[in-house]
Amino acid sequence: MTDVPVLALRGVTKTFPGVTALDGVHLSLFAGQVTALIGENGAGKSTLVKTLTGIYRPDGGSIEIDGVPVRFATAQDAGAAGITAIHQETVLFDELTVAENIYIGHAPRTRFGLIDTARMMREARSLLASIGATLDPATRLRDLGIASKHLVAIARALSIDARVVIMDEPTAALSQKEIEELYALVATLKAQGKAILFISHKFDEIFRIADRYTVFRDGQFVGDGLMADVDQDQLVQMMVGRSVDRVFPPRTHSPGAELLKVVGYCHPTEFADITFTLRQGEILGFYGLIGAGRSELMQALFGITKPSKGVCRIDDRISVIRSPADAIAAGIVYVPEDRGRQGAITALPIFQNVTLPSLRRTSRHGFLRMAEEFTLARTYTERLDLRAASLDQDVGNLSGGNQQKVVIAKWLATQPRVIILDEPTKGIDIGSKAAVHAFMAELAAAGLSVIMVSSEIPEVMGMSDRVIVMREGRMVAELAGAALTPQALVRHAAGIGADKTKVAA
């Protein structure tokens, strides 16, 4: 074991307007060792990867290679320093061949300066063989599965003689067999003396392949050490912190009668056997890892995708929801996670965004009535304390938090009975977060039923009356009261232990 890390971050800070993504973090990677980076969503892992690969420049602190401080002006600089990242969704070129993908930017040349295709194919073949892959280098990338694409990305990393390999949730989209192959490959890379940074939410794999760990929480360094010295409980504890230390609004009202009942919702690929009830004035949290099928389930409830099986009842009446328009008519609305693409129409003014689903009410015989639109838009945007110059301002000119307020105002204006919020505070500043939380509590108190999809443990803990945990498209636990602890959430979501008993309130 060497004493000088191949790559070290010392007190690295990165801020964005309104958010400190990394706050003086440390990280050390050693040759021939796998370091697991652990943290909740929003802990700063992605920012760290982008800082290491030269996409972001740190605002403070230093990056050292072999103890020598370096500065990456561009992604090329990081590549030249031997740092390469294999992303969750690999960034490769679908229309090029495997060999071209591996050697793009540094292909072997003939003496005329043209690409030496024969040599490139030969070298690609031996490189692929060295990692145990049996891919034909002449195959087009789009004809490969996600697992094979990972292999290509890894071969590319080896071809530029990388010293540091960053793997960002590499197993998220792989099957069990493919995961085993990836583990074998990680072992090969280790044997070759690469320093590996392995980002994962799955505790079983962290314990299986990592030698060291580093934990981040809310952009801050929490701790690091050898895997041999910790157990799962200690890691979970570090990840979630001592307690829910942010302030959430008090919940004074208790939920009323049952309002929505979903029975046996299934989808061919995304989720199965979803059955739950939602009471009036209740905030029901949905927790799980990314890819657990939560958003897909919510979009099915909202009529974007169709469930293959199952019924949805509101007030004991079966509602058939085939489109968002049906869902809105049934009183179900959805605030999507992807605000820019699915939520707000950024090139249209605030008032037009707010009134879009409510035009039937503000118009007469299909003809617009501007005065009514402005009144409706003002009523709901002011309730949410929207900060804007005027209602005629384009939504695109607002901050992320204020855009989210416009989307929420749009739905409240339809006077819904169930509001589904998908990661409602993701990527918005602390002040707006508090406003959204306060407003959620207010809505529930006023009798509206809220479904909140969130990957942030403090938010789930602080806001929900009850939490359903999903893993791989299925409900794995329903937690409330004393059973609702950060440890329980992480355990169920990550599938730690065989504890699958339902813990009801």
Partner 1 sequence: MTDTSLHRRLPDRLTTRTQRLLRSWEVLLLAVAVAIFTFNALASPYFLNVWNLSDATFNFTEKAMIAFAMALLIIAGEIDLSVAAIVALASTAMGYALQFGVGTPGLVAIGLGTGLACGAFNGFLVTRLGLASIVVTIGTMSLFRGISSIVLGDGAFNGYPASFAVFGQGYVWWVITVELAIFAVLAVVFGVLLHRTNFGRAVYAIGNNPTAALFSGVRVDRVRFILFLLTGLMAGLAAVCLTSRLGSTRPSIAMGMELEVVTMVVLGGVNILGGSGTIPGVVIAAFVMGLVTFGLGLLNVPGIVMSIFVGALLIGVIALPRLIGKLRA
Concatenating the DSSP letter of every residue in 237-285 gives HHHH-SS--S------PPP-SEEEEEEEEE-SSS---EEEEEETT-EEE
Residues of this chain, 262-281, that bind partner 1 according to CB under 8 A: none
380 in contact with partner 1 (CB under 8 A): no
| Count of other CB atoms within 10 angstroms of residue 94 | 11
Identify which of residues 143 and 338 has a Cβ nearer to partner 1 in the complex: 338
Identify which of residues 279 and 361 has a Cβ nearer to partner 1 in the complex: 361
Concatenating the DSSP letter of every residue in 120-177 gives HHHHHHHHHHHTT----TTSBGGGS-HHHHHHHHHHHHHHTT-SEEEEESTTTT--HH
Least separation in angstroms between residue 494's CB and partner 1 is: 31
Greatest CA separation found in the chain?
Answer: 79
| Residue pointed to by tokens 């540091």 | 164
Residue 41's identity, in one-letter code, is: N
Alpha carbon distance 45, 113 (integer Å): 40
366 in contact with partner 1 (CB under 8 A): yes
Least separation in angstroms between residue 149's CB and partner 1 is: 26
359 in contact with partner 1 (CB under 8 A): yes
345 in contact with partner 1 (CB under 8 A): yes
435 in contact with partner 1 (CB under 8 A): yes
Q: Candidates 179-187, 266-274, 379-387, 447-455: pick the segment binding partner 1 (CB under 8 A).
A: 379-387
347 in contact with partner 1 (CB under 8 A): yes
305 in contact with partner 1 (CB under 8 A): no
Contact by Cβ (8 Å): 351, 391: yes
27 φ/ψ angles, rounded to the nearest 5 degrees: -160, 135
Least separation in angstroms between residue 415's CB and partner 1 is: 13
- First-to-final CA distance of the chain: 50
**Running DSSP on this structure, what letter comes out for residue 76?**
H
Q: Name the packing angle between helices 370-383 and 400-412 (round to 10°).
A: 120
Residue 262 Cα to chain centre, angstroms: 25
324 in contact with partner 1 (CB under 8 A): yes
Q: Candidates 67-75, 188-196, 213-221, 438-446: pick the segment binding partner 1 (CB under 8 A).
A: 438-446
Q: Point out which residues pair with 117 in neighbouring strands.
A: none
Residue 108 Cα to chain centre, angstroms: 38
Least separation in angstroms between residue 100's CB and partner 1 is: 28
Least separation in angstroms between residue 333's CB and partner 1 is: 9
Applying CB under 8 A, which of residues 5, 170, 219, 336 lies at the interface with partner 1?
336
By rule CB under 8 A, what count of residues binds partner 1? Answer: 45
Identify which of residues 166 and 330 has a Cβ nearer to partner 1 in the complex: 330
Q: Candidates 12-20, 90-98, 391-399, 492-500: pick the segment binding partner 1 (CB under 8 A).
A: 391-399
388 in contact with partner 1 (CB under 8 A): yes
334 in contact with partner 1 (CB under 8 A): yes
R_g (Cα) of the chain, nearest Å: 25
Identify which of residues 381 and 454 has a Cβ nearer to partner 1 in the complex: 381
Residues that bind partner 1 in the complex, under the rule CB under 8 A: 302, 304, 323-325, 327-328, 334, 336, 341-348, 351-352, 356-357, 359-360, 363, 366-368, 374, 378, 381-383, 385-386, 388-393, 410, 435, 438-439, 442
